[in-house]
Amino acid sequence: MEGRTMCCGLFSLRTGAFWVAIVYTILTLLNLAYWMTYLIHLGADGMSGVGVAFTILGTIFCFLLLVGLCTYKSGLCMAWVGVSGVYLLADFVVSILLTYFVVWWPFWYEKGIEQVFPGPIYDLQRWMYLCPKWLILFLSVVFLIYGAIVITSHGKEMNTKSYKPRGNSHA
């Protein structure tokens, strides 16, 4: 039964962990693209700096997760869960600040947001500017929770003495 434990009845734990890693990496890269667009249109400030820094850190750990899954290193997989949790917490705080500034704080008009949106930002324009950010954040949280369950289970399976990776006849 090694390597055949099912994850939600759909995938083996290993396959489920790879899907989580791939989807979460894509979401992290989309978040990085959002912050880079923000920097290009509005310039650098503390909020965008924190957003870019934590997103780059999250992206690095997504690739380390993939390396950990490929090399059967459960430590790298477990490190991803913790770092991704901190990354999403920081991203959530920065997203709340971004929402506050875009929706309610008139300083943005002086900072140059009218370059992105000609004239004042009203109703739908505000939410269309923020919707991708919150959608990426929501999907990232969902995949972090799912990934924590799958990767923790896969890590426990990798730590058992009877676990033998496929294709390794010497294990």
Residues 6 or more apart in contact with residue 35 via CB below 8 angstroms:
48, 51, 52, 55
Q: What is the pLDDT of residues 77-88, one digit of tens each?
A: 778 888 888 888
Domain segments of the chain as ranges: 12-156
The pLDDT value given to residue 6:
47
What pLDDT, on a 0 to 100 scale, did the predictor assign at position 75?
77
Classify the C-alpha dihedral 71-90-136-119 as positive or negative: negative
pLDDT at 59: 85
Answer yes or no: are the C-beta atoms of 118 and 19 closer than 8 Å: no
Least confident of 10-14, 17-21, 87-91, 159-163: 159-163
To the nearest 10°, report the CA torsion of 44, 45, 46, 50: -30
Tens digits of residue pLDDT in 54-70 = 888 888 888 888 888 78
**How high is the pLDDT of residue 81?**
80
Full-model pTM: 0.69
Find the mean pLDDT for residues 6-18.
62
Predicted local confidence at residue 118, as pLDDT: 46
Rounded Cα gap, residues 40 and 69, in angstroms: 35
Task: Return the structure tokens found at 103.
Answer: 């929706």
